[in-house]
Structures are given as structure tokens and as C-alpha cells.
Structure 1
Amino acid sequence: MAPTSPITKDTVRAQVAEVLDEPEAVIGDHDDLLYRGIDSIRLMSLVEWCRQRGAEVSFVDLAEVPTVAAWTEVLSQATQDVRGITA
């Protein structure tokens, strides 16, 4: 599936904020998102959001390094990998 919009730190942070029902401004790039309240159900919701944007990631991909900065890197790479396969 082709990406619907670029995945940036801001888009990741916005989605995390929505899932946590918190303001984006309180979520730092390197905050531990599991500590902030991302549980397995919310994480699966985020995985689905990522896949809808063309980033083929798994639950484990995101659970290993649960920060906005790390997820942005993982998602950016996953999106590039998909583009490379379909290009």
C-alpha cells in the first residue's frame, strides 16, 4: 500500500497524542511511550495506523524502542523499503 502522507516526528507525535488523549506538546521525542501509557491495545492501533500509511512494521518493531524519535526512524525506513520494492 502506498503511503498516504509523509511520516514525520510531528505526525507520529500527533498520532501518539491522539491514542493517549494527551496534548502533543507534552510528548517529547525521547519519552518512553510505554511508561506514558501505550499498552498493547494502543500499540496495535498505532501499528495499524502505520500500515495504512505504507509502513510495514510489526508490534515488536515499535515495542523494542518506544519513543517518537525511534518510531519515526523505524517508520521512515519501513516506508522507504516498501517504496523500493514497489518502484
Structure 2
Amino acid sequence: MTIAETSDLGAEWLAKRVQRLIEDDCEIDPTENLVLYGLDSIAVMTLSAELKQRGIEASFEELAREPTLDAWSALIAARR
């Protein structure tokens, strides 16, 4: 994994990726629980696997503990 590939994993990338996972075009409040937007456990597992492929270890449990864009952005930033 190159630095350029991991630097692409910012808040903007995450918001766009979650938008595709929930299949909705509404604007997401970064502090709101993503389950309220229709995010399900399969989507969380998918995101966890994608992050792992990009060199970021974030387990399903860690992501499910606080499913908000802000929390996930902080987790990803801490793991880079």
C-alpha cells in the first residue's frame, strides 16, 4: 500500500463510500448514527473488508460500536 493510496481514505472518500453502501442520495449528517440511513451489518462488514484491503485494520466490531462518519473518519485516521 502506497502513501497515496492510504491518503485517499479521507472523510470525503468515506462519505462517498457510505453513500453507495446505503444506496441513498440524501446528505448524511456526520454525527448521525448510520443505521438511521439504512446501513446494515453486511455493509459494515463490506467496509471493514475494503479498509483491510487498503491497509487499514478496522474490525466489524470497531465500526459497529459507533457507526457515524465522524467516528469512522477518526478511526481510519488513527490507523494510517
Task: Report TM bin, short chain.
Answer: 0.7 to 0.9
Shift of 1:51: 1.1
1:15 equivalent in structure 2? 17
* d(CA) in 2 for partners of 1:47, 1:21: 18
What CA RMSD, in Å, does the superposition of the two structures yield over aligned residues?
Answer: 1.4
Question: Who wins on radius of gyration, i.e. which is larger?
Answer: 1
Q: How many residues align?
A: 77
What TM-score results when the alignment is normalised by the length of structure 2? 0.85
- Structure 1 gaps, min length 5: 80-87
Aligned runs of 1:1-87 on 2, under 5 Å? 2=1, 4-6=5-7, 7-23=9-25, 26-79=27-80
CA contact (8 A) 2:6 2:55 kept: no
SS in 1 for 2:24: coil
Q: Percent identity, aligned pairs only?
A: 27
Shift of 1:5: 3.6
Shift of 1:10: 0.7
What TM-score results when the alignment is normalised by the length of structure 1? 0.79
CA contact (8 A) 2:51 2:57 kept: yes
- Structure 2 gaps, min length 5: none
Moved over 4 A (4+): none
